[in-house]
Amino acid sequence: MNYPFWDVPIIGSGGVIAIIAIFHVMISHFAIGGGFYLPMAEAKALREGREDWMRTLRRHSHFFLILTGVFGAVSGVGIWFSIGLANPEATSTLIHNFVFGWAIEWVFFIVELTAAAVYYYTWGRIPDRLHLKIGWVYAFTAWMSLVIINGILTFMLTPGAEWLGVAGTGQESGAFWAAFFNPTYWPSLVLRTLVCISLAGIFALVTAARIDGFAEPKLKTEIVRWSTKWLVPSFVLMPVCFLWYLWTVPESQRQLLNLGIATIGQGTFTQVTRSALVSVMTSATILAVVYFTAWRNARDFNMGWAAAVLLLALGATATTEQSREMLRKPYVIGEHMYSNGVRRSEVEHFNREGYLSGSPWAAAHASESAGDAAPDRGALMFRGQCLACHTTDGYRPMKRLLQGRDRASIMNLLGTLHEYGENSPYRAFMPPLVGKPDEIEALADYLDRVVNAGAHTAKAE
Amino acid sequence: MAVSSYPEPEAKTAAKKGAGAALFRWVDERLGIEEILAFARHKTVPEHAHSFWYYWGGVSLFFFLVQVFSGVLLLVYYRPGVEAYESVRQITYDIRFGWLIRSTHSWAANLMVFAIFVHMFSVFFMKAYRRPREFGWWSGLALLGLTMVFGFSGYLLPMDDLAFFATKIGLEIPASMPVVGTLIADIVRGGPDVSEVTIQRFFALHVVVLPLVYVPLLFFHMWLVQRHGNAMPPAEEAKPEAERRTIPFFPDFFSRDMGMWLIALNVLAGLAALYPWQLGPQADPIAPAPLGIHPEWYFMSTFQILKAFGRWFPGEAGEVLGIGLFTLVLLLWAIIPLYDTRTHAGRRARAATWFGYFVLAGLIGTTIWGYWEI
């Protein structure tokens, strides 16, 4: 157990968050979009007196309740655990600023879960109009939970000048609303709402695929085609909203994308551009595949195709979320806290007084280890400042990234990261390396051992 | 009530008006497009719970077409022989979008082998090798074998250290054959060791000899599929005629095939963009082999079997036993249509199915074992 440094081999702590979050994002967005799908479909069925639609919607609400109420809720708690372990400083900052926001979100969440259960269990037991109203209560509260959490998520990319002006003074809560309705809040809210709507259609196709197209061809064709229409708004409006979103992103972050686009031809383009490209491409593929397999062959649309569309949606979600995360580099909270939990305002202090003695996490670990033998200071530096984004062997591995470098070369690189010059190529996506010279030397020793194991090169005199 | 098939769509194109329809009529009058479409509309494909597996032949074909297209583009800049490494370095780092073409070619090669394996096992478990589809099975096996030779010969062409040593190790497989093994390996290498001469040979094999054999065989295979149609799995064949469902090849099956091709394209483009194919340092024949060197994943099973037998039975006996076992399984796999001939379920049908499970499990198991030991 490496707590307070969470050392997850191969995939890294970020990988754990990603695995949980990608599924959670997909399910939670379905929970919101599906919240609109169900009452709208029910209203249509009631209007047209379609018993067969009502039967299908009841089945869909069962699938909906289990998936969102169980998996969605559990994975949400999983995110809390993993972000708290992976980046306690950033999690602490968010809690301190938004505890009131989260309290509001949980109120909506409780109403949402309750309404979902009531909606499912009262099919055919209460008047149709009342049942429909419960559906709308669910839809509203589910969407409101997005309205709240979106403020916290977008804050991490663009906290805004007002909040940054008071950050670290203890007066942060006075800038709550400015931080909440930050520059990327509105475009992000519209984008996520559109994603919710399209995911509602995609998940509805899963239920529609289970209808026997040969026994009930009319019902299956109608429901499959009605569900595919839910993909249209997002695919029409997404490009415009995406440009709106980019327009609100700080110039420095936009440069990451621009740099990537400009260097596609050379193949050296940034990871954020790669992910964004795959996201756009996969989204377009979803639309085309749904057209070919669902719209054109509604009666034969089976579970295999529904699973294929779901997997594509999972791919689109994963790459979109990865792009959003990468766009924030080198920060975890824009312009305030670097991705390794070091605040911008602390850099000078750590360089002057030392990182290992100044960082509460490193100090706690150092004192715990001070029993039998002196702790490896280089390993502590690595855990404190590198582990948030790197591993030794797996994800973004040191062994590959530093391959071919001897200790002197590793030290040169660490020097560049420490100096953090305006023209440094690493400045766009990596935090500065902080600490006193002897701590950086200790990190170089450690990395040399990791990379050149068995062929340890002597320390340069 | 069971429905046997959809109502066939009318040929409406001829009756349509407008510039597009006029152009279509002009082309149709000269090339007979409507006749082909009418034929495609009348051709039907079985529709059942296992229809998903019908698309893997098409996916394999799609990746082959990608290989041809990207291979021709690579051919413009690739220089075999002593300049091989430098030309691949230029393609990867200097020429605009060269990295994309190379990554696409390499990833599509791997995906093509994977798709053919899936296609082969789905054909096997659907018993689609039975009369009258025996030649479809044999031509398919030959295509898989040729695809693997395509992969092996292409892997060396960049001549980086990984390619060099993986080829050296890969050539241990034919070299371990009794009596003729060394001779075959020497002929393939063009000498006792992998060198620039080997690149010239592999290049000629990769871009001339193999396509000359592959393309006619592929057409033969597709003609057989067209001639005999898609086979139904035994459970479906057991149903009365009235309960079997079919869909028209065009547009229903075709449009879903397009959907599957789009998914395949998306997977390929995603892999090429997120995990571009790397180029290692130039091969140095006198340097020691990098740690953990191994052949490509589709040769790993054979490699591991040979390695394990060599360990269990030191000396030539191990090599003979290993290659003997491998050859025996391959032979049995090829002659399965002559063994499992009856259309109804029986002892032989069950034995063949269990043999299929054994081969599939063995292939996956030895491949994982191989990677585990690296």
Q: Is B370 within 8 Å of B304 (Cβ atoms)?
A: yes
The answer on pLDDT for A103 being more than 50 is yes
3-state secondary structure of B47: strand
A266–chain B Cβ distance below 8 A for any pair: yes
Convert the pLDDT of each residue in A271-330 to its tens digit: 888 999 999 999 999 999 999 999 999 998 999 999 999 999 999 999 999 999 889 989
Predicted pLDDT at B269:
95
- Give Dmax over CA atoms of chain B in angstroms: 78
Query: B137 pLDDT band (50/70/90 cuts)?
Result: very high
DSSP for A248-260 reads: HS-HHHHHHHHHH
Predicted pLDDT at A336:
95
Q: Is B53 within 8 Å of B122 (Cβ atoms)?
A: yes
Predicted pLDDT at A18:
92
Report the residue of A296, A301, A323, A395 to disrupt the B interface, i.e. the one with the largest count of B CBs within 10 Å: A296
Residues of A in contact with B98 (CB under 8 A): 267
The answer on pLDDT for A261 being more than 80 is yes
The answer on pLDDT for B34 being more than 70 is yes
Query: B342 pLDDT band (50/70/90 cuts)?
Result: confident
Token pair recorded at residue B79: 């220089």
* Closest residue on chain B to A308 (Cα): B263
Q: Looking up tokens 């791997």, which residue turns up?
A: B110
Neighbours of A134 (CB within 10 A): 20
Distance CA(B14)–CA(A454), nearest Å, equals 76
Average pLDDT, chain A: 90
Beta-carbon contacts of B91 under 8 Å, excluding residues fewer than 6 positions away, are B74, B77, B78, B98, B99, B101, B102
Show me where the domains of chain B are located: 43-279, 294-374
Q: Is A428 within 8 Å of A255 (Cβ atoms)?
A: yes
How many angstroms away from the CA of B54 is the closest CA of chain A?
12
Amino acid at A111: V
Least confident range of A26-30, A102-106, A249-253, A332-336: A249-253
A214–chain B Cβ distance below 8 A for any pair: yes
ipTM for the complex shown: 0.83
Query: A371 pLDDT band (50/70/90 cuts)?
Result: low
* Closest residue on chain B to A271 (Cα): B274
Arithmetic mean of pLDDT, A358-376 = 63
Backbone dihedral angles phi then psi of residue B64, each to the nearest 5 degrees: -65, -45
Beta-carbon contacts of A103 under 8 Å, excluding residues fewer than 6 positions away, are none
Q: Could B97 and A265 be called an inter-chain contact, meaning their C-beta atoms sit closer than 8 Å?
A: yes
Distance CA(B80)–CA(A426), nearest Å, equals 37
Convert the pLDDT of each residue in B171-202 to its tens digit: 877 887 777 888 888 888 888 888 889 999 99
Q: Could B266 and A282 be called an inter-chain contact, meaning their C-beta atoms sit closer than 8 Å?
A: yes
* Closest residue on chain A to B102 (Cα): A267
Least confident range of A246-250, B73-77, B319-323: B319-323
Show me where the domains of chain A are located: 12-257, 344-460
Query: B251 pLDDT band (50/70/90 cuts)?
Result: confident
The answer on pLDDT for A233 being more than 60 is yes
The answer on pLDDT for A216 being more than 90 is yes
Arithmetic mean of pLDDT, B45-53 = 89
Instruction: Kindly list the distances between the CA atom of residue B295 and the CA atoms of B60, B155, B195, B298, in Å, as whole numbers in the listed order.
Output: 22, 10, 18, 8
Token pair recorded at residue A117: 């259960």
Share of chain A above pLDDT 70, in %: 94
Q: Which residues pair with B5 in a beta bridge?
A: B246
**Would you tell me which residues 267-286 of chain A have a C-beta closer than 8 angstroms to some C-beta of chain B?**
267, 274-275, 277-278, 281-282, 285
Beta-carbon contacts of A359 under 8 Å, excluding residues fewer than 6 positions away, are A350, A384
CATH classification for the domain delimited by A344-460, as one of 1.10.3470, 1.10.1740, 2.30.30, 1.10.760: 1.10.760
Please give the model's pTM, rounded to 2 decimal places.
0.86
Distance CA(B372)–CA(B374), nearest Å, equals 6
Per-residue b or e along A67-104, where b marks 16 or more CB atoms closer than 10 Å to that residue's CB: bbbebbbebbebbeebbebbbbbbbebbeebbeebbee
Q: What is the CATH number of domain B43-279?
A: 1.20.810.10
Convert the pLDDT of each residue in A328-352 to its tens digit: 989 999 999 999 999 999 999 999 9
Per-residue b or e along B228-256, where b marks 16 or more CB atoms closer than 10 Å to that residue's CB: eebbbbbebbeeeeeebbbbbbbbbbbeb
Closest residue to A267, CB basis, from B99, B258, B262: B99
Q: Could B262 and A292 be called an inter-chain contact, meaning their C-beta atoms sit closer than 8 Å?
A: yes
Residues of A in contact with B276 (CB under 8 A): 267
A170–chain B Cβ distance below 8 A for any pair: no
Arithmetic mean of pLDDT, A35-44 = 97
The answer on pLDDT for B6 being more than 80 is no
Q: Could B270 and A304 be called an inter-chain contact, meaning their C-beta atoms sit closer than 8 Å?
A: no
Residues of B in contact with A299 (CB under 8 A): 6
Q: Could B274 and A289 be called an inter-chain contact, meaning their C-beta atoms sit closer than 8 Å?
A: no
Q: Give 3-state DSSP helix, strand, coil % of chain A, rounded to 5.
A: 75, 0, 25
Q: Is B199 within 8 Å of B80 (Cβ atoms)?
A: yes
Predicted pLDDT at A232:
95
Q: Could A315 and B263 be called an inter-chain contact, meaning their C-beta atoms sit closer than 8 Å?
A: no
